[in-house]
Structure 1
Amino acid sequence: MLDYLPDEVVLEILIRLPVKSLVRFRCVCKDWLSLISSNAFIAAHTNRSLSRSDGNNKILFRYGQLVGTGLTPPRCFEQLSLRSDDGSFGYNGNFIQLNCPLERAVFPNNFPNMLGSWNGLICLKYYHPSYGYCYTLWNPSIHKAVSLPEPNLVSSKSDGILKHSHGFGYDPSTNDVKLVRLAYHEPHIMKVPPLVEIYTLNTGCWRAVTSPAPSYIINERCLSVFVNGASHWVAHTPPNEPTFRNVIVAFDMGDEVFREIAVPNCFVGKLYLNMTVAVRDGLLCLVPFNERGFNEREEEQEKECFYIWVMKEYGIRESWTKLFNIHIGGLKRVVGFRKNGEVLVTDRCGELLSYEPNTQLETRLGFCKFSSLETKIWFVESWFYLDKYIESLILLNAKNGVPGGLANRSASSARSR
């Protein structure tokens, strides 16, 4: 039957199939193996997945689980899963367990950091005692994990410790996945702009970014977000500047240049806001956290309040719009936004809550509730990670493996619950 179908029709059929089927269909014949494994097909399938409007509601979710009580030191383990962004989301809901391609480590050493995810591809950073900081790209859908080569900028005793900020995203003009890395030398972090290098999946290597680096100070503990073709960080002016100013720094993955995006006027000069960036309904979102309250000369004093703002027209300062505030005492962080409009937040006990802005009701979801502050709750709550998940074929042609024998033998397995 295939002999009677034009190649164009076969292509249109295959490009609409899910990743799991395409991986299996490479065994049908040599022509299909060649077609499905080609970079052109992988790019076309990826672009179609991005353009679909039928509403894939899978989300990638991570949290830390502490094990151990009494006299035994608690040990923290990573839990990764794919969940439906619907009423079944919760500790006892249906999910697909993912096994990280790196061996699980004991808290607090060797835990992989989630630098970001895009279209089913996850970027991990972890510390290995023999290799230093390492990076891995992982596609759970096709059971592939690829280690990145060592960056060009590494720490040395003479240079001092490097502080890093990262941005992970995609360049549609070249169908290339990129990881940008900003490295600050610790003794000069407040005085000297960072050194910037970028890894591109198409070349498989790191290179220096020639465009001028931002002069702002980026908080290394705050994750960047990828939206509108660029990675974004919250930053502020260095202490030697005469006037303090908050700003969003953006790195365009296509042009590979840094740009400045203004925050709402009411937050430009505000201290102690602990701002973060997020994505809500495909729009850049700003989440300031007012922990200390406004100055007494302000008309209104508010304490422990999250403000949720979105930029409705990207790059247009006047389009910043406040959606709502979250007034719940004891909150620590906004984790992400659900499809139904609810906001996932963590409290000071390390528990995950879902907040409904219209009714202002909160629902405890059953993740990570501990009674003792000795269990390092601040570390556990920072483990929560949430992002939209769409399957892709990226890394299909890559050689599977991670350095230093850290590969988990069960990395290619997944179980449903």
Structure 2
Amino acid sequence: MVKSGKTKKKYHKPTKPHHHLNPPPAQANKPISVKTLPAHLVLEILYRTPVKSLVRFKSVSKSWFALINHPTFIKMHLDFNTSKNDKNKLICSCGYGTFIDIALLSLSEEPMNVLRINKDFTERPNYPRKINFRDFSKNMVLAGSVNGIVCLSHSEEMSERFVVLWNPSICCWCPIALVETKSWDNMSVGIGFDEVINDYKVICIVPEFRFEDYGWSRIEVYSTNQGSWEDVDKKGKIHFRPNTDLNHCNFIVNGVPYWAGLDLRPGYVDVLGRIDPFTGLFKKIEHPKHVRNEITRVNPVKLRESVAALIQSPGDYPNNVIDLYLLDENTTKWTKMYSIGPLVSGNVCEEMQIPQCFSTGEIILETWTWDTDQDHVTDLDLVHNIYDPKTKLVLHINHMQALHPCWYESYSHVESLVCIKGMVQIGKEHRDKKTKPKMKNWTEFLSKEFDSVLHL
């Protein structure tokens, strides 16, 4: 007989959840797959990465070391940052007395010191038998900047012994000895870049002082590719002498250095001279025609990638106006673009210098201002202002006052990874190099993705 009623359901006890603080050994050792970015996106990020960060990234792996050191990547990184105006800065020397600072200056940031020079230091180990950067930095003079490579001259004991190429971004430098059998008195130094053969060149203009050669100068060119001074004696001498107080070029446009100086052949005529780093040939450029008087000053400058001339006080005093002229390199003709000013009012007198222009077109106006009381100076002040050609306004930039009291040489500068032949790391000039196994080809460590993007 079958029992009536409901069938009793079986009760299943639920299993307790297990919470593991640590994964099982087998799961912990299991490799984790990470989806990486495409190579072209990685490169786009690295092109935007500051140089100092890229130097640290070299220690990530052999492939990254090979990538960041590869000439193609270095050039692409340089091209990208050169095309971005916000990446371009000015490198300048400023200060007064014992300490001189080499600083990077931009419109939007505080000046960043890259080197502080103590002109009075006395501890100089092994000097002058073994030269190091610390030895040379005392009394050194900025003489140009191209693609992140800065040329340095010297104003005292090494002025006729060495010039130097320096990349402050990667802390490397290369001393270049001057030929001992030649005279280098009062030489003026610049740097040029021969884009055709990718060669950085140190260019020196050396005035002649013998009576029969007075008014002439000779040109000396050092090729970093060849590692030697080129024989330019056969190319003849030039009727040009850089300004007496100018031991460095004024500015550099498209790798060509320019000097302000005198043509002594027709008389003492102010001209602008340039030396082509590819051919070594000299070209003289006359100043634009302008109103001349006792206080007229012509300031040749680099404006973006063109040659410009800022003519101060072209009219009668006190009509202190600055006219800007632009040079057409093909026709060597000047065109007046616009005027700034007048900049004088009341009993305040201003003496203005134009140290340099930013790559975006803003012009730095360094002004010495003093109040006069019966022809006596009662108050003296140095002010740095910026003229913006877009708004046609003269603006005061507070952080530029950090360059007080004096601003010396300045050049357009872009931070780069460029390391030319012969450069060594600062502070390790005389250390014995450890022998390391040489790789036949560093590109073997690069991934196939980077190979295809860089076209290796």
| TM-score, with structure 1 as normaliser | 0.71
The one-letter amino acid paired with 2:75 is A
* Cα 1:36/1:189, change in 2 over 3 Å: farther
**1:196 counterpart residue number:** 219
Amino acid at match of 1:345: E
Tell me the equivalent position of 1:30.
62
CA distance in 1, matches of 2:429, 2:261: 35
- Matched residue type, 2:411: D
- Aligned partner of 1:99 in structure 2 is 115
Match of 1:260, SS state, is strand
Retained in 2: the 8 A contact 1:336–1:345?
Answer: no
The corresponding residue for 1:280 is 303
Aligned residues: 359
Match of 1:352 in 2: 383
Equivalent residue runs for 1:301-380 within 5 Å: 301-302=316-317, 305=320, 307-311=322-326, 313-325=328-340, 327-328=343-344, 329-338=349-358, 339=360, 341-347=362-368, 349=380, 351-356=382-387, 358-359=392-393, 366-367=401-402
Change (3 A) 1:47 1:262: same
CA RMSD of aligned residues (A): 3.9
The alignment partner of 2:74 has SS state of helix
Asked which structure has the greater CA Rg, the reply is 2
Which of the residues 222, 231, 236 maps onto 2:257? 231
- For the structure 1 residues 363 and 85, does the alpha-carbon distance in structure 2 shift closer, same or farther, using more than 3 Å as the test? closer
Q: Is the 8 A contact 2:238 2:282 kept in 1?
A: yes
CA contact (8 A) 2:47 2:81 kept: no
Q: Deviations over 1:3-58 (max 9, x none)?
A: 999988876665554322321222233333234323444334323332x2363254
**Residue 227 of structure 1: how far off its partner (Å):** 0.7
State the alpha-carbon separation in 1 of the partners of residues 220 and 383 from structure 2: 35
Pairwise CA distance, 1:127: 4.5
The aligned residue for residue 17 of structure 2 is none
Higher relative contact order by CA 8 Å / sep ≥ 6: 1 or 2? 1
Work out whether 1:260 is the aligned partner of 2:288: no
1:339-358: CA deviations, max 9, x gaps?
47353214175723215473
Asked if 2 retains the 8 angstrom alpha-carbon contact of 1:287 and 1:306, the reply is no
How much does 1:150 deviate?
2.4
Match of 1:62 in 2: 93
Cα offset for 1:248? 1.9
SS at match of 1:34: helix
Change (3 A) 1:274 1:185: farther
CA deviation map 1:269-298 (0-9, x unaligned): 9887553321122221113455xxx8xxxx
Match of 1:411 in 2: none
C-alpha distance 258-403 of structure 1, shift in aligned 2 (>3 A): farther
Amino acid at match of 2:90: I
Aligned CA distance change for structure 1 residues 391 and 287 (closer, same or farther; 3 Å): same
Segment drifting more, 358-367 vs 120-129? 358-367
> For 1:283 and 1:184, how far apart are their aligned partners in 2?
27
Report if the CA contact (8 A) 1:144-1:400 is conserved.
yes
User: Partners of 1:189 and 1:333 in 2: how far apart?
Assistant: 36
How far apart, CA to CA, are the structure 1 residues paired with 2:160 and 2:188? Answer: 16
**Equivalence map 1:31-50=2 (5 Å):** 31-50=63-82
Measure, in 1, the Cα distance between the counterparts of 2:34 and 2:275: 46
Residues 152-171 of structure 1: pairs in structure 2 closer than 5 A:
154-155=182-183, 162-171=185-194
Structure 2 unaligned regions, length at least 5: 1-32, 122-136, 370-379, 431-456
Match of 1:20 in 2: 52
| Shift in CA distance, 285/54, structure 1 to aligned 2, threshold 3 Å | closer
1:148 aligns with 176
Deviations 1:241-260 (A, max 9, x none): 3x554332111122221122
Secondary structure (helix, strand or coil) at the match of 1:236 reads: strand
Instruction: Report the counterpart of residue 214 of structure 1 in structure 2.
Output: 238
Q: Cα 1:255–1:15, aligned 2, differ >3 Å: closer, same or farther? A: farther
Structure 1 gaps, min length 5: 66-74, 89-93, 156-160, 295-299, 370-379, 406-417
Residue in structure 2 matching 1:84, options 82, 90, 106: 106
Residue identity in the other structure for 2:336: T
- In the alignment, which residue of structure 2 is the partner of 1:399? 424
TM-score (norm 2): 0.65
Matches within 5 A, 1:116-131: 116-127=144-155, 129=157
| Aligned CA distance change for structure 1 residues 197 and 2 (closer, same or farther; 3 Å) | farther
> C-alpha displacement at 1:236, in angstroms?
2.8
State the shift of 1:164 in Å: 1.2
1:366 is paired with a residue whose SS is helix
Please give the alpha-carbon distance, in whole angstroms, between the structure 1 residues aligned to 2:286 and 2:275: 14
CA–CA separation in structure 1 for the residues paired with 2:420 and 2:59: 14
